[in-house]
Amino acid sequence: MKAETETMARGVELLEAELIREIIGAAICVHRELGPGLLESAYQVSICHELTLRGIPFRSQVELPVEYKGVRLDCGYRIDIVVDNRVIVELKSVEGLSAIHQSQLLTYLRLSRIRVGLLINFNVPVLRKGIVRRVL
> What are the residue boundaries of the structural domains of the chain, listed by start?
2-135
**What is the value of pTM for the model shown?**
0.86
| Residue 61 reports pLDDT greater than 80 | yes
d(C-alpha 97, C-alpha 102), whole Å = 8
Closest CA to 93 of 36, 52, 20, 21: 36
pLDDT digits (tens, 9 = 90+) for 70-124: 898 878 899 999 999 999 999 999 999 999 999 999 999 999 999 999 999 999 9
Pairing of strands 87-92, 116-121: parallel
